[in-house]
Structure 1
Amino acid sequence: MSAEPSTDDADALLAAPLRPYLNVSPLLIAVSGGPDSTALMHRAARLGSAYPIHVATVDHGLRPESIVEARKVGLAARALGLPHHILTWEGDKPSRGIQAAARNARYGLLAECAGLIGAETVLTGHTADDQAETVLMRLFAGSGPTGLAGMRRERELAPGLRLARPFLHIRKADLVAYCDRHGLEPLRDPSNADERFARARLRRLIPDLATEGLDPERLCRLADRMARDEEALLQAARTALAAHRVPARTDVVLDGQALAALPDAILLRAVDLALSEAGGGGSQRLERLERLVFEDLRPALAAGVPIRRTLRGILVDLGEDGVLSFGRAPARRSPS
């Protein structure tokens, strides 16, 4: 029977991925009070930084006890010498898709708080277990490589602000053990076991899947491989977009015939990048993008016929000359 890791080993496990974010820039640590973010806050405070470290807790207002829990996090943060901010999600809450809406609101509030205090990085306590659940959810949803790449270790949260997940390859059990060894008392969120939510239902399946070999480690390895391949495809799409651009004063204008020679996976991503560059927002469902590219655009390019389609608020216009432009779609006329 193997010996239990020492406290020094457990501390080192958390310190190694966390150190690159310390002594680099001011930090804002998102702490819900659960074991993951509690361990993150505690370890960061113990390691210290030459720059300010702030803590923020988002009160989503979805449970009566949430404000009490946020205040408890504040007490724990201040005991570690860290300033604490409670960020409140105000206004009406949607009746459907509440978790997605709460996530969007949470990141918006964190970005706003980071801007106010001058933080350049927001840290969250996402773990390998969270990554495995995310990949599994996206697998069930029929996602492509982009979705199966899971959460990125780092991404841009707002201009000049990065979101980082230093513990993304550490198991939750290691963070729970860290809290136990240091006498920390994290909060327990009952929504994590609420089977009204898809993530909670899938979480219940993971032990059975693990017995068949699909354990969290393999799901995380799948995410790493998909992220590696996705980055290569994206880079190829960026190169193609730059090479086949037609100079224009406005809009995004491309040489459609040159794009037609691209492999499907690269063409798909090139069109997606063009839509985003043109200001396309709203839903980014893969099925809609695939329909545009493979059912409309690719056949039109092959036949040399013009088409006009709208996706994400962008007018995609393929002219008779083979020039493909992306620009804001005109506003729809209201019925008279």
Structure 2
Amino acid sequence: MATDTSKYKLNHSMLRIKDPKASLKFYEFLGMKQVNKLEFPDNKFDLYFLAFDSPKATSHGNHWTDREGIIELTHNYGTENDPNYKIANGNSDPGRGFGHVAISVDNIQAACQRLEDAGYKFQKKLTDGKMRHIAFALDPDNYWVEIIGQKPLEETESAKETDVETYRMNHTMIRIKDPEISINFYKDVMGMDLKRTSESKNGGFNLYFLGYGPPAPESTVNGVNPVADREGLLELTWNYGTEKDANFKYHDGNAEPQGFGHICVTVDDLDAACARFEEKKVNWKKRLTDGRMKNVAFILDPDGYWIEVVQNEKLKQRSNW
């Protein structure tokens, strides 16, 4: 029984939310559509799966497990009516770990103006700070949503229109303690490739973009991220020196304070993939055989982030999701 990691997909990133009406409105305004919903009334939570699904989208019409770049929103019943319930967005202590999701757009100025006109707030506008080619919008739970351009700024400066059907859910960023250990894990164990490295020596950090699929172009065109047109990338952010601090640890999002939950990889053959992970001596959060759900497994990465593993239903029928 074999498994082929080249058929794996970085399917989704899970975020806990307070109010599904507000969150769905925001992500649908960005152009995403609900491609699946799973309800668990006995356990008092619902899962909403959102993706770009227009005819121009990368995975248009695909089964939800045969996609990359999905955002899974987890709603625990009653949080919307609890004035004290608050999400940890991952960017401040004690919940620091997860950083953001990133949407790539056709015309970044027009896309940001559209969000601003709709009343949505920003952590960083295009005009803030030195980096004029990226912005960070805030979703209703104050998760950071990075906005990056698919084209050079000078090509889009005069553009007044933006087409949400061309947007991509480009990447999910998590902070890591030791880049050598983490990159080796995602390459050797999860079967990803390193698509791009961005060094910021003055800022004291490096960014590593990993994922499945074809290699990235070797050169950057006019400052545009060469993988901006992709979906389902994982960005690892390393702040220099953390690897030397024995006591340093990032927050996984699942202990209090809660927010980000996990990333999910879909595989060609779930049993074979889990057997391979067993051979790789991974740290399990949940084996397939644990608990009642026999169609889901969870691995822990070197920083303790959860990685869900499920079957790509296009490649092999397993679950009637």
- TM-score (normalised: structure 1): 0.22
RCO higher in 1 or 2 (8 Å CA, sep ≥ 6)?
2
For the pair shown, the structure with the greater C-alpha radius of gyration is 1
Question: Which has a greater percent of strand?
Answer: 2
- TM-score (normalised: structure 2): 0.23
